[in-house]
């Protein structure tokens, strides 16, 4: 394969189309580099509409982080193996700001305060610290913090979002939350968020929905809904529905996958090709071959058609076990495309605690690719495995994004650092 003629030549191959891969493509675009990106976009569907940077630290003490930046500095001092410890805080801030700016440009702004996490209600009736919330959800922070009287609406036939469950569990912190179940206009028996969200992009459906909600408004100062306020025209849907009801309307993030994932997936899929990325969404990277003299050849394709992509350098953002970047069998854990060394793998009988909700988190979650400060995967001796191979996102070792509430921030920040290092490498050679 490494001697076959490639169908496509590029400078940088980005493997992965989750948050890290998409952010990497965004950072690499418009920099005079030929970029090819490939991966299955399923992972991004799990995006919740909240951008976490660091919500809990230290994890073992379950402490909610108020201002993420000093907490990241603290984390870097105590956990030098953490990916955040390998970059400056100003770089993390620039990376996150850039992505949030991109979402705003794309018409889907996120709300955040520079030095303060937001505390958001969830569909489980719990609260979650996060850094930025989609504009459709952001009002939930203030409404809960100020205990505003709020009508919480769910829909007959929409599964996994129960207004009574949320209200009962938040009753102590938010006594003014009043649940109601109504019918969705022109609905069948079983409802799904995506068609509901698309339906609300038409004025007629918004008017009908407002008519269904209005009788229950009472003293409510705002109305909470599951995440259904449009797909691509969320600002218009939110503004006009609020106008029809006379009070602000906002979303509470639902079970994933939901529309919050579809929204950013569509934004990336629309804009990245326009920015010059040669993207193969819904494609797999089946095989990587080392070229003599450096660089890589990849087999990229869907099930029927495979092509060869030659790249001077590569950035792997293929995710963990669910995303397919890592694979475990009873003998151990491997990286699936390059067979890179996987660091911090505990003995199999201590991969997980017996308690799912163990305060410290499960040791296997900290296994992954160890990298140097240029985000190149390293071997046991801390030497880069390849000079032209970089890594970013949740595949990296030394972090537990699920417990630290840092998934999106970690993906975005490490993608930024890895792209910058890759660019430096490409400029030199």
Partner 1 sequence: MQTCVLIIGAGATGTALARDLSLRGIDCILVEKGDVNAGASGANHGLLHSGARYIVSDPAAAAECHAENRILKQIAPQCIEDTGGLFVAVQGDDEKYIADFPTACQKCGIPVQPLSPDQARDMEPALSEHVIAAFWVDDAAIDPFKLSLDNLSCAQAHGARLLCRHQVTSFEIRGGRIVCTHVRDLNTDKQFFIEAQVVVNAAGAWADIIARCAGAQMQMYYSKGSLMVTQNRIAKRVINRLRMPTDGDILVPGGTVSILGTTSERVASPDFIYPEIHEIDTILDQGSAMIPKLAQTHYIRAYCGVRPLPAGSEITNPARDPDDRAVSRGYELIDHQDQPEQMANFVSITGGKLTTCRLMAEKTADLVCEKLGIQAVCRTRTEPVPDAAEAKWTKPGLAPAAWVRENRCKEPLLCECEMVPESVVKQIADTFAANQQRPDLKAISLRSRIGKGPCQGTFCSMRIMAYLYDQGYINDRYGTDDLRAFLKERWRGRQPLAWNNGLARAELMEAMHCGLFCLEL
- Residues at the interface with partner 1 (CB under 8 A): 46, 48, 56, 62, 64, 122-128, 154, 157, 159-165, 168-169, 171, 181, 188-190, 253, 255-256, 320-322, 327-330, 348-349, 351-359, 362, 364-365, 401-403, 405, 407
Q: Give the residue with the Cβ less far from partner 1, 202 or 339.
A: 339
**DSSP letters along 375-423, please?**
--BB-TTS-BS-TTEEE-STTBSS--HHHHT-HHHHHHHHHHHHHHHHH
Instruction: Please state the closest distance from residue 32 (CB atom) to partner 1, in A.
Output: 37
What is the Cα 375 distance to its own chain's centre? Answer: 20
Q: Give the residue with the Cβ less far from partner 1, 192 or 290.
A: 192
Phi-psi region of 72 (alpha: psi -120 to 50; beta: other; left: phi over 0): alpha
Instruction: Please state the closest distance from residue 154 (CB atom) to partner 1, in A.
Output: 7
Tokens of 166: 């949320």
Q: Is 351 exposed, middle or buried (0-12, 13-18, 19+ CB in 10 A)?
A: middle
Instruction: Please state the closest distance from residue 321 (CB atom) to partner 1, in A.
Output: 4
Distance CA 426, CA 387 (A): 10
Instruction: Please state the closest distance from residue 319 (CB atom) to partner 1, in A.
Output: 10
Q: Give the residue with the Cβ less far from partner 1, 106 or 255.
A: 255
Distance CA 278, CA 265 (A): 16
Q: Give the residue with the Cβ less far from partner 1, 8 or 255.
A: 255
Q: Give the residue with the Cβ less far from partner 1, 45 or 384.
A: 45
Tokens of 281: 């969404």
Q: Give the residue with the Cβ less far from partner 1, 116 or 334.
A: 334
Instruction: Please state the closest distance from residue 295 (CB atom) to partner 1, in A.
Output: 31
Residues in contact with 134: Cβ distance below 8 Å, sequence separation at least 6, in sequence order = 49, 50, 108, 109, 110, 111, 234, 251, 260, 263
Q: Give the residue with the Cβ less far from partner 1, 62 or 115.
A: 62
Instruction: Please state the closest distance from residue 309 (CB atom) to partner 1, in A.
Output: 26
Q: Give the residue with the Cβ less far from partner 1, 357 or 381.
A: 357
Instruction: Please state the closest distance from residue 193 (CB atom) to partner 1, in A.
Output: 13
SS3 content of the chain, % helix, strand, coil (to 5): 35, 25, 40
Sequence length of the chain is: 429
Q: Where are the beta strands (DSSP E) in 291-408?
A: 296-301, 306-316, 326-329, 332-335, 389-391
What is the Cα 124 distance to its own chain's centre? Answer: 19
Instruction: Please state the closest distance from residue 322 (CB atom) to partner 1, in A.
Output: 5
């Amino acid at each position: 394969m490494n001697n076959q003629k490639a169908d496509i030549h590029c400078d940088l191959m980005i493997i992965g189309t989750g948050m890290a891969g998409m952010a990497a493509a965004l950072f690499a675009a418009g920099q005079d580099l030929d970029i090819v990106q490939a991966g299955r976009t399923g992972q991004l569907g799990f995006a919740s509409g909240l951008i976490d940077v660091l919500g809990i630290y230290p994890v073992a003490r379950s402490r909610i982080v108020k201002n993420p930046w000093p907490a990241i500095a603290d984390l870097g001092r105590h956990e030098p193996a953490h990916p955040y410890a390998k970059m400056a805080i100003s770089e993390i801030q620039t990376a996150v700001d850039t992505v949030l700016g991109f979402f705003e440009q794309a018409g889907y702004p996120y709300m955040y305060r520079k030095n303060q996490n937001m505390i958001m209600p969830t569909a489980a009736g719990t609260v979650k610290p996060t850094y930025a919330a989609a504009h459709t959800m952001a009002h939930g922070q203030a409404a809960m913090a100020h205990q505003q009287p709020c009508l919480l609406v769910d829909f007959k036939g929409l599964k996994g979002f129960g207004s009574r469950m949320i209200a009962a569990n938040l009753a102590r912190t938010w006594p003014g939350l009043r649940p109601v179940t109504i019918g969705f206009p022109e609905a069948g028996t079983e409802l799904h968020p995506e068609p509901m969200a698309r339906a609300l992009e038409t004025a007629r459906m918004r008017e009908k929905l407002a008519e269904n909600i209005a009788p229950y408004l009472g003293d409510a100062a705002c109305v909470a809904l599951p995440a259904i306020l449009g797909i691509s025209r969320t600002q218009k849907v939110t503004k006009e529905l609020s106008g029809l009801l006379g009070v602000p309307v906002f979303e509470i993030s639902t079970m994933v996958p939901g529309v919050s994932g579809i929204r950013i997936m569509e934004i990336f899929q629309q804009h990245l090709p326009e920015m010059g990325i040669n993207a193969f969404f819904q494609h797999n990277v089946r095989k990587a071959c080392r070229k003599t003299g450096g660089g890589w050849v990849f087999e990229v394709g869907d099930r029927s058609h495979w092509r060869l992509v030659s790249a001077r350098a590569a950035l792997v953002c293929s995710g963990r076990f669910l995303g397919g970047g890592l694979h475990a069998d009873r003998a151990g854990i491997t990286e699936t495309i390059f067979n890179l060394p996987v660091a911090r793998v505990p003995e199999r009988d201590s991969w997980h605690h017996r308690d799912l909700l163990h305060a410290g988190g499960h040791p296997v979650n900290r296994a992954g690719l160890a990298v140097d400060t240029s985000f190149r995967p390293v071997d046991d001796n801390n030497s880069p495995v390849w000079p032209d191979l970089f890594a970013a996102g949740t595949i990296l070792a030394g972090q537990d994004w699920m417990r630290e509430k840092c998934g999106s921030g970690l993906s975005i920040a490490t993608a930024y650092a890895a792209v910058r290092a890759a660019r430096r490498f490409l400029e030199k050679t």
